[in-house]
Amino acid sequence: MSEMKCNIICMTGSQERVLKENISEQEVCKIKGAIKTIFEFMNEVDNYTMLQGNSNDFLQYTENKNIDIEKMEEFTNLNRMFMNWLNTFYVWIEYHERYHKTVFGKLKGIFYDKYPEYRITYYLRRYTTHQSCCISKTSFALTTGKISYLIPVKKILEEGDMNKQTKSDLRKIESTSSNIDSRELVQDTMKIVKEFQMSLWKEEWGAVVDALKELESYIAMDDVSSTYIVFNDEKIRPICISNPIGYLIQKMSLYSELRDLIR
């Protein structure tokens, strides 16, 4: 059985240039690990962007003054968008639990213990999955013309099986207003998520920098060439090791907080 051999090449147009011959299996593993780190970070940016998008969809819909609250389908749409937001909130948490468990775990306790909105949102996702839709009431302020879309707390307390901390949070709301304003909950939770996400990115950035340095040590840094690992076995697809850097730069441009990390 012939030994697997790998080269690093760069392509400028149709021209191929060998940058490094006979790289070791260990080097290939290190390069793959660096690419994996970068893609995990980019996936994290995508999850945050989707969470932001679903929160914006819901908030914009609730601002629509043409909503006919007498129609049942309007409540269905409100709950659909609210559930989309809750589900992406859960996805955001689960992704970090899987791929950034150490960093996320260190910060999660701080944010979970500090903010009742975080705890309530986390629970409502489970409630909507196993019990019922959340938003079932409205209120209209004559002075401002504002319509609020409400989540009755009593019903959740009666039907739910939340932990003691979340139950205490909900009882406090029940004793003062009886309802959760869905719009305010989304706005408040997203402020918390943003603070949490910025802290996570700062913690994770060191590993991303190390991954970038690993890739940059192998590629042609001329902003023109694409760099690949190619194998002597044609059945194995070449691995592009330059594109992930370009993709990451595009992702970093989405948020000022990410751009600040580069400087």
pLDDT digits (tens, 9 = 90+) for 198-251: 999 999 999 999 999 999 999 877 766 789 999 988 889 999 999 999 999 999
**What is the model's pTM?**
0.88
Provide the pLDDT for residue 166: 93
Please report whether residue 232 resides in a domain. Answer: no
pLDDT higher than 80, residue 141: no
**CA 37 – CA 123 distance, rounded (Å):** 31
Q: Is residue 4 part of a domain?
A: no
Statement: residue 74 has pLDDT above 80: no
State pLDDT tens for residues 147-176. Answer: 889 999 998 998 878 899 999 999 999 999
In-domain check, residue 234: no
Range of the domain at 61: 25-225+245-262
- Mean pLDDT value of segment 55-63: 93
Is 139 in a helix, a strand, or coil? Answer: strand
CA dihedral 57, 60, 66, 69 (to 10 degrees): 70
Please answer whether residues 41 and 99 qualify as being in contact, where contact means their C-beta atoms are separated by less than 8 angstroms.
Answer: no
Contacts of 262 (CB under 8 A, 6+ apart): 252
Domain count, the chain: 1
Whether residue 150 lies inside any domain: the answer is yes
Q: Is residue 215 part of a domain?
A: yes
Residue 3: inside a domain, yes or no? no
Residue labelled with tokens 């970038």: 212
Is the residue at 60 inside a domain?
yes
Alpha-carbon distance of 100 to 187, in angstroms, equals 25
Question: What mean pLDDT comes out for the span 45-70?
Answer: 89
Q: For residue 110, what pLDDT is reported?
A: 87
Q: Taking a C-beta distance cutoff of 8 angstroms, is the pair 22, 5 a contact?
A: yes
Write down the residue that tokens 């850097």 correspond to: 245
Alpha carbons 256 and 245: distance in angstroms, whole number: 18
Separation between Cα atoms, residue 162 and residue 180, nearest integer Å = 16
Q: Of 45 and 76, which is predicted with more confidence? A: 45
